[in-house]
């Protein structure tokens, strides 16, 4: 039997893998063991220090296996078997972070818009106050003295102090929560700088000094808020794949009742409910069509642009779109149990994973708080003892506190991962493991399976003529007991010819070889040529052999030929990978002439035929021992060991459950082109991460000495800090 997938007995084959993609997310989730994670919304987190604090306190809590914070979505996913959200919320709130059990509605755009409007409102107040204080400052700069100067200072203070208190509330509230729980977050030095700038201005005013800096304090707050808003907007532009999936969720459905259609929230649907889906509406839950015929658009979930026919008995997935006809669907899963919700959770977990570069950024961010406060304090002491000018020393210390904020470092990795995973998702590739993108960038060799990977894996029997009429029931009984594509194609052809299966006993499948059973006291087999003692010869078509044993004059196995076609994008994908200088191999369990013919068509110089599952895994192991980082692209049970052995692995949506579980990424459509694009994008993402680290490093090397030397005011420091954060995020957005 040629190399390909060994599906479950009830597996459904289709000429279009997109037709098999509806239950994809549910099968992937089921492969993960069915563990229900607890998801908490964290509306107040905003930096790398927040991520570290929340993950550390949760991971230390008894009963918690793992906790992953997603800064983009402002949530934490907790693996804590047997625990509830009510038990974990006090743990997070105990270190000063607001936490709520995640409500799907909390992920809607309206919640994010409220946050943006709040920041804009504070920017407007700060900007209005800043302009008025600047007008008053002009009089002072123009030469106003004594009582007139003091009056203008007091009026400026009356405007500035309430403005700083109100507009700076996001910084002050975050800093207070951190200090109250014994932490030093990124907003502590920013808040301290605002307080110092305001305090030195009040001091100058009380002492009838010549200079007060109320205008600088308000401007500092104004530009800090602008930096935070720009950061918020660039994050919103870099929408993650998880957010895009969440956008497919439907809040209401029309349940069919005796009294008519009843609009109900999707969360109230239960398995067995009948719901009506109008043309043009998005599918609100997982289910099976009970009535009606239509066409289904699965492009947002699979990348397939061609609509799929829908009829009674066809499975649908939440998030798909009903195009042409009304349908009545019987619900099988809804709300958090739907495949869309599980797929969203899977993507969010991948985006939150900690890779090598993320770990570097986290460690650097943890060193920030104690180091920057020590640096600012030393700068204050040095300038005060050198000049005995308290005002100057405070200004230098405030500038150091602000300019050293590592926001850019905290954004260096998450912004890139979010942008890259979103782009791959839109091209039809789902990242299951968050470290896979990092490993994909290191790939220098790509190994392809043949049947079901480079080809569609939906073969068709060339002719039934080689099978005698009396042998056809035996052939059907064997073929329908196997999930192999060739066996399924044979079974379909025999059933269409009106054949009934013969009774067999001791039916057993040997992965990578074929299937055998006992019929009328003798062993019958269907599978590979060498397993049945036959020779494939020089034919370039895939083939399987049927052996009915030695009795009845049936000495030689019967050859059954099958035709197959290339997967869309296979030629372009292989050509693009070869053009990038990577090594490409084809490993297949099929006969040598078939594999050679395909390899020549695709331009693959290295190929091996007749490879067993163990030999595939050994080939991947050999590549790793040679110092290479191989990518394995395969879809069968006989590929599972090789997928696990590879540095990183990809499986098509039509793959066997075991193969998808073993792989790091899943191709949700039939097109193979995203594999090559993913390789290039991964290297680009790695380059962007390194560029972001370089931007952060150069910024600190240049900016910190300038601040310590006294050449940067707190206002200039705020502008520089905001510019560094925005530049890092914009650099990541180049991946889109």
- State phi, psi for 41 to the nearest 5 degrees: -85, 135
Nearest of 101, 32, 713, 20 to residue 400 by alpha carbon = 713
Residue 541: burial class (beta carbons within 10 Å; 0-12, 13-18, 19+): middle
CB 509 within 8 A of CB 500: no
Tally of CB atoms within 10 A around 182: 8
CB 328 within 8 A of CB 226: no
Which H/E stretch holds residue 101? strand 100-101
CB 151 within 8 A of CB 209: no
Q: Give CA–CA dist 677/271, Å, rounded.
A: 39
Per-residue DSSP letter, 190: H
CB 570 within 8 A of CB 604: no
**Residue 197: both structure tokens together:** 């700038």
Nearest of 193, 206, 197 to residue 391 by alpha carbon = 197
SS3 292: coil
CB 320 within 8 A of CB 282: yes
187 is a catalytic site residue: no
Task: Give residues with Cβ within 8 angstroms of 616, minimum separation 6.
Answer: 449, 587, 634, 638, 639, 641, 642
Nearest of 698, 696, 723, 720 to residue 193 by alpha carbon = 720
Give the active site residue among 150, 337, 449, 664.
Answer: 449
Give me the half-sphere count of Cα atoms (radius 13 Å) on the Cβ side of residue 58: 32
CB 545 within 8 A of CB 467: no
- State phi, psi for 595 to the nearest 5 degrees: -65, -40
Q: Which residues are 77's β-sheet partners?
A: 39, 68
**Residue 521: both structure tokens together:** 């006291």
Tally of CB atoms within 10 A around 52: 18
Q: Give CA–CA dist 598/565, Å, rounded.
A: 10
**Residue 400: both structure tokens together:** 């150091």
Q: Give CA–CA dist 578/556, Å, rounded.
A: 42
Q: Give CA–CA dist 719/402, Å, rounded.
A: 10
* DSSP for 357-418, written as a single string: HHHHHHHHHHHHHHHHHHHHHHHHHHHHHHH--HHHHHHHHHHHHHHT-THHHHHTTHHHHH
* DSSP for 575-639, written as a single string: HHHHHTT-EEEEE-SS-HHHHHHHHHHHT--EEE-S--HHHHHHHHHHHHHTT--EEEE--SGGG
CB 69 within 8 A of CB 45: yes
CB 397 within 8 A of CB 380: yes
Nearest of 206, 213, 299 to residue 248 by alpha carbon = 299
Q: Give CA–CA dist 525/531, Å, rounded.
A: 9
Q: Give CA–CA dist 201/216, Å, rounded.
A: 9
Chain-centroid distance of CA 36 in Å reads 18
Residues designated catalytic: 449
């Amino acid at each position: 039997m040629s190399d390909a997938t060994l599906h479950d007995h009830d597996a459904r084959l289709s000429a279009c893998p997109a037709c098999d993609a509806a239950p994809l997310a549910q099968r992937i989730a089921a492969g993960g063991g069915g563990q229900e994670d607890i998801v908490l919304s964290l509306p107040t987190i905003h930096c790398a220090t927040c991520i570290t604090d929340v993950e550390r306190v949760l991971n230390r809590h008894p009963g918690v296996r793992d906790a992953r914070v997603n800064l983009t979505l402002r949530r934490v996913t907790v693996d804590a078997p047997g625990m509830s959200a009510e038990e974990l919320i006090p743990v997070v709130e105990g270190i000063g972070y607001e936490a709520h059990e995640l409500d799907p509605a909390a992920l809607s755009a309206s919640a994010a818009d409220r946050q943006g409007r709040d920041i804009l409102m504070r920017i407007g107040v700060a900007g209005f106050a800043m302009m008025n204080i600047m007008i008053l400052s002009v009089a002072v700069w123009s030469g106003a003295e004594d009582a007139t100067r003091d009056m203008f200072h007091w009026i400026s203070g009356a405007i500035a102090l309430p403005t700083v208190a109100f507009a700076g509330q996001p910084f002050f509230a975050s800093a207070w929560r951190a200090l109250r729980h014994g932490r030093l977050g990124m907003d502590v030095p920013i808040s301290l700088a605002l307080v110092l700038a305001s305090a030195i201005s009040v001091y100058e005013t009380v002492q009838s000094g010549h200079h007060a800096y109320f205008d600088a304090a308000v401007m500092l707050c104004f530009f800090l808020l602008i930096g935070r808003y720009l950061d918020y907007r660039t994050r919103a532009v870099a929408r993650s794949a998880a957010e895009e999936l969440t956008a497919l969720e439907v809040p209401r459905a029309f349940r069919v009742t005796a009294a008519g259609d009843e609009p109900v929230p999707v969360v109230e649907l239960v398995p067995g409910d009948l719901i009506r889906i109008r043309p043009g509406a998005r599918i609100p839950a997982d289910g099976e069509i009970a009535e009606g015929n239509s066409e289904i658009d699965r492009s947002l979930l699979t990348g397939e642009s061609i609509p799929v026919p829908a009829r009674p008995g066809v499975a649908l997935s939440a998030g798909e779109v009903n195009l042409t006809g009304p349908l009545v669907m019987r619900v099988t899963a809804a709300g958090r149990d739907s495949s869309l919700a599980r797929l969203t959770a899977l993507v969010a977990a991948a985006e939150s994973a900690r890779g090598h570069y993320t770990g570097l950024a986290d460690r650097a961010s943890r060193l920030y708080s104690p180091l920057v406060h020590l640096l600012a304090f030393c700068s204050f002491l040095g300038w005060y003892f050198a000049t005995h000018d308290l005002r100057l020393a405070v200004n230098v210390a405030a500038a150091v506190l602000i300019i050293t904020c590592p926001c850019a470092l905290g954004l260096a990795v998450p912004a890139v991962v979010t942008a890259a995973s979103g782009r791959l998702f839109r091209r039809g590739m789902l990242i299951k493991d968050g470290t896979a993108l990092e490993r994909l960038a290191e790939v220098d060799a790509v190994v392809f399976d043949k049947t079901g990977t480079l080809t569609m894996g939906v073969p068709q029997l060339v002719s039934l003529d080689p099978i005698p009429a009396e042998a056809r029931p035996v052939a059907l009984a064997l073929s329908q007991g196997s999930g192999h594509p060739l066996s399924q194609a044979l079974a379909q052809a025999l059933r269409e010819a009106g054949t009934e299966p013969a009774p067999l006993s001791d039916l057993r499948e040997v992965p990578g070889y074929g299937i055998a059973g006992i019929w009328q006291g003798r062993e019958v087999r269907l599978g590979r040529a060498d397993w049945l003692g036959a020779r494939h010869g020089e034919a370039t078509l895939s083939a399987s052999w049927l052996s009915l044993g030695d009795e009845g004059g049936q000495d030689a196995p019967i050859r059954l030929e099958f035709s197959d076609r290339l997967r869309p994008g296979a030629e372009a994908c292989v050509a693009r990978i070869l053009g990038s200088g990577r090594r490409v191999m084809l490993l297949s369990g099929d006969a040598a002439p078939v594999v050679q013919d395909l390899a020549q068509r695709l331009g693959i110089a290295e190929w091996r035929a007749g490879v067993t599952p163990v030999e595939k895994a050994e080939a991947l192991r050999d590549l790793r021992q040679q110092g290479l980082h191989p990518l394995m692209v395969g879809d069968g049970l006989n590929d599972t060991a090789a997928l696990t052995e590879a540095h990183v692995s990809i499986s098509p949506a039509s793959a066997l459950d075991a193969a998808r579980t073993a792989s790091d990424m899943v191709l949700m459509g039939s097109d193979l082109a995203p594999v090559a694009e993913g390789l290039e994008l991964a290297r680009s993402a790695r380059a962007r991460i390194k560029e972001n680290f370089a931007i952060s490093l150069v910024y600190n090397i240049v900016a910190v000495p300038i601040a310590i030397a006294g050449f940067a005011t707190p206002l200039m420091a705020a502008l520089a800090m905001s510019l560094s954060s925005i530049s890092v995020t914009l650099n990541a957005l180049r991946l889109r």
